[in-house]
Amino acid sequence: TPPHHVAVLPGDGIGPEISKVAVALLKQAGQKEGVDFEFTEAAIGGAAIDATGSPLPEETLQICRQSDAVLLAAIGGYKWDQLPPEQRPERGLLGLRAGLGTFANLRPAVVLPHLAEASTLKREVVEGVDIMIVRELVGGIYFGQPRGFSTNEQGHKIGFNTMVYSEPEVERIAHVAFQLAQKRQGRLCSVEKSNVLEVSMLWKEVVSRVGEQYPDVELSHMYVDNAAMQIIRNPKSFDTIVTGNIFGDILSDAASMLTGSLGMLPSASTSDDGPGIFEPVHGSAPDIAGQDVANPLAMVLSAAMMCRYGLDLPQIAEHLENAVSAALDAGYRTGDLHTPGMQRVGCSEMGDVLTRYL
Amino acid sequence: TPPHHVAVLPGDGIGPEISKVAVALLKQAGQKEGVDFEFTEAAIGGAAIDATGSPLPEETLQICRQSDAVLLAAIGGYKWDQLPPEQRPERGLLGLRAGLGTFANLRPAVVLPHLAEASTLKREVVEGVDIMIVRELVGGIYFGQPRGFSTNEQGHKIGFNTMVYSEPEVERIAHVAFQLAQKRQGRLCSVEKSNVLEVSMLWKEVVSRVGEQYPDVELSHMYVDNAAMQIIRNPKSFDTIVTGNIFGDILSDAASMLTGSLGMLPSASTSDDGPGIFEPVHGSAPDIAGQDVANPLAMVLSAAMMCRYGLDLPQIAEHLENAVSAALDAGYRTGDLHTPGMQRVGCSEMGDVLTRYL
Ligand SMILES: CC(C)[C@H](C(=O)O)[C@@H](O)C(=O)O
Ligand SMILES: CC(C)[C@H](C(=O)O)[C@@H](O)C(=O)O
């Protein structure tokens, strides 16, 4: 079988450290299963700014386009915070999403039994939580035109953005969400603000219409403010959630807190045809970069999502996920998750542990 | 002294029951202090739709404009959910906010020691939480133009809204927030999404500039996704928050969950000159309407906020707040807050208890 081409984008901060762990594990799991990976590294974010002046060099986009999947670590850092917005690391990420058309961002919030205590919510509230947030990623207010700065009739400076969705944009993300819900508990909650916004009325209408093709999925609708409450009040009531770009940004970060451990959360961003982007939900953590103390597990689980959703290699995904479970079972924890009685390890050490359990 | 004119808008669902309790208490506290209230009832929301066809009859707006403060209970219900959006109860509320220009919405999230256990978050995380969210209420994406439905270049139907802020709009809400922060712990966190949105860049710039006039207030900036996380992860880190309309809608509902009891949360919406609107954060709860089981405490605390922020009657505000504390201390609870060992009471019974403790 031909090799699987993976573009690796270590990015900034702890990115390079955690990438190394994930790539080593992928290689090892590949050997075990007779699967060949070919990794090509490319620069993004602050590292790319320093090297080329751009947060997303054309070469990086080309490498990603020609790959079967993109494994991205994290971008950003204080160093680039003073640059004008168009030149900041985040723009590299947004450009990559748009450039690859990865419209469906899947963000699971699963509370692992080992870590239920790490949450600020009561154990009985979060134990067993398994939410999949499907966030539209290349439309909505993030990319809507017109946008910018101007002067209003009174001569005052204004800043403005447009939250816009078209029918096909909502349709395609709705299909992804309904199909995921089918493979999960069969319940889909569409989140919007249709009591105020026209863009949300269209969203609700289109999701409802697409839902007629999925009679086996139970569809409900919820306003975004209520969803933010219910995620805290009764998170187990959710199975799959589908929502727009900015609401998904906010709600998925809120949901991530149920798990108490950002360091454990992977994400997948997929398109209809081209390569997907697989990345941890956490950031580049510049304050602990280079100290070999970062938690590589979200990155390893992102590599697992890549194998499952991007490369159709579910057996490799399972190997990685099982190794993570085994390491947690055995009591290994990086600093972010450490509690008394557990075995504290650094980033590369955690990599060694995973290698052993693979 | 001349009487204080209060427009009372009972609205829908449990609105009339809880209004009755609050008005009775205001009268009683007024008598005690030699303060005269004059109450004028007016229709809004579903009740107004049924009576006049409009969720905000012109007469209601007139009565509110001529009053010193507006005490609003709650609007909406299943009955009106099928109406076209422009005719729904919510439009009455949005129209009232715009009509009175109440741009500053204050939403305290205070965890009362009596009720810390009611939260889904761990006691040690929420105990002592005292957050004031200052939400811009008559601008942003709720009211931005252009908005509506259209067809894009590919001939597809689109829905769109505009998130827009002008410099003076941000300035006036920033001043309110800084002045509140001064009276609180002196820390203000401005929440936006300036790594993506131009409207947020302007927001951040203007808030920072206004901040120079308040050197005694410590200003910080946070992205909205991170704020949604921190409210769950470390709510005690916040003192005062200032943010735009939709972000405030979402974050204040999330923060309300820290308290575990929507039934306790008041809000105030004020303008620069005219009457403010004072209302509980909870909705009209149509499922329990008319059963005399609703919790009137958020409504009573909204009346207290009205006295403090709207009518400059801090002594009356204190009477009401003390009565609420005393009733909770004595173990009286409506059904939503009831736990074993407490004395369960209905809505009007809770009113009687408050009357006794006043
Ligand atoms: C870094 C930022 C632009 C990005 C976003 O808002 O999408 C991040 O918050 C995320 O959720 O991946
Ligand atoms: C009812 C609705 C229009 C309203 C809003 O979104 O402002 C409500 O959620 C609120 O927060 O007061």
Same domain (yes/no): B249, B207: yes
Within a domain: B109: no
pLDDT score for A113: 84
Contact between B262 and B274 under an 8 Å Cβ cutoff? The reply is no
d(CA A25, CA B355): 69
The reply to whether A167 and A234 lie within a common domain is yes
- Residue B4 sits in the same domain as residue B72: yes
Q: Mark which of B240, B261, B282 sits at the end of a domain.
A: B261
Catalytic center residues of A = 142, 193, 225, 249, 253
**Domain annotation covers residue B107:** no
> Do A179 and A292 share a domain, yes or no?
no
The band of A305, judged by pLDDT with boundaries at 50, 70 and 90, is very high
Tell me whether residues A250 and B228 touch, CB distance under 8 A.
yes
Global pTM reads: 0.96
List CB contacts (< 8 A) between A156 and chain B: 166-168
Give per-residue pLDDT as tens, B253-312. 999 999 988 889 999 999 999 999 999 999 999 999 999 999 999 999 999 999 999 999
First to last CA, chain B: 23
Residue A266 belongs to domain spanning: 1-112+262-358
With 90 as the cut, is the pLDDT of residue A213 above it? yes
- Compute the distance between CA of residue A306 and CA of residue A75 in angstroms, rounded to an integer: 19
Does residue B319 sit in the same domain as residue B351? yes
pLDDT recorded at residue A108: 95
Q: Is the CB of B12 under 6 A from ligand 2?
A: no
By the 8 A CB rule, do B4 and B313 touch? Answer: yes
Final residue belonging to a domain, choices B212, B236, B261: B261
Residue B301 near residue B281 (C-beta atoms within 8 A): no
DSSP conformation letters of B143-163: T-SS-EEEE-TTS-EEEEEEE
Q: What is the CA radius of gyration of chain A?
A: 20
**Domain count along chain A:** 2
Amino acid sitting at position A144: G
Number of A:B CB contacts under 8 A? 180
CATH of residue B95's domain is: 3.40.718.10
Q: A198 and A290 share a domain?
A: no
A320 and A298, same domain (yes or no): yes
Domain presence at residue A356: yes
Candidates A3, A11, A12, A23; CA nearest to A302 is: A23
What is the Cα Rg of chain B in Å? 20
Residue A121 lies in a domain: no
Pocket test for ligand 1, best of A75, A80, A86, A90 (most atoms within 8 A of CB): A90
A34 — pLDDT class (breaks 50, 70, 90): very high
Residues A251 and A269 in one domain: no
Residue B73 included in any domain: yes
For residues A85 and A64, the answer to whether their CB atoms sit within 8 Å is no
Residue A147: count other Cβ atoms within 10 Å of its Cβ: 18
Q: What is the pLDDT of residue A114?
A: 82
Say if A119 falls within a structural domain: no
B35-45 pLDDT per residue, tens: 999 999 999 99
Name the band, by pLDDT with cuts 50, 70 and 90, for residue A298: very high
Q: Can you tell me whether residue A358 is helix, strand or coil?
A: coil
pLDDT-derived band at A116 (thresholds 50, 70, 90) equals confident
Task: Point out the residue among B121, B161, B253 whose CB comes nearest to the CB of A198.
Answer: B161
Domain presence at residue A108: yes
Q: Which of B216, B238, B261 is the last residue of a domain?
A: B261
Q: Are residues A271 and A335 in the same domain?
A: yes
Tell me, yes or no, whether B223 and B283 share the same domain.
Answer: no
| Phi, psi for residue A278 in degrees, rounded to 5 | -125, 120
Q: What is the pLDDT along chain B (358 residues), one digit of tens a residue?
A: 799 999 999 999 999 999 999 999 999 999 999 999 999 999 999 999 999 999 999 999 999 999 999 999 999 999 998 888 889 999 999 999 999 999 999 999 999 888 888 899 999 999 999 999 999 999 999 999 999 999 999 999 999 999 999 999 999 999 999 999 999 999 999 999 999 999 999 999 999 999 999 999 999 999 999 999 999 999 999 999 999 999 999 999 999 999 988 889 999 999 999 999 999 999 999 999 999 999 999 999 999 999 999 999 999 999 999 999 999 999 999 999 988 999 999 999 999 999 999 9
**Banded model confidence at residue A220, pLDDT cuts 50, 70, 90:** very high
Query: Do B86 and B184 fall within a single domain?
Result: no
In a domain, A196, yes or no: yes
* Average pLDDT along chain A: 96
Do A219 and A201 fall into the same domain? Answer: yes
Enumerate residues 6+ apart whose C-beta is below 8 A from B32.
B319, B358
pLDDT at B214: 98
Distance of CA B9 to the CA centre of its chain: 14
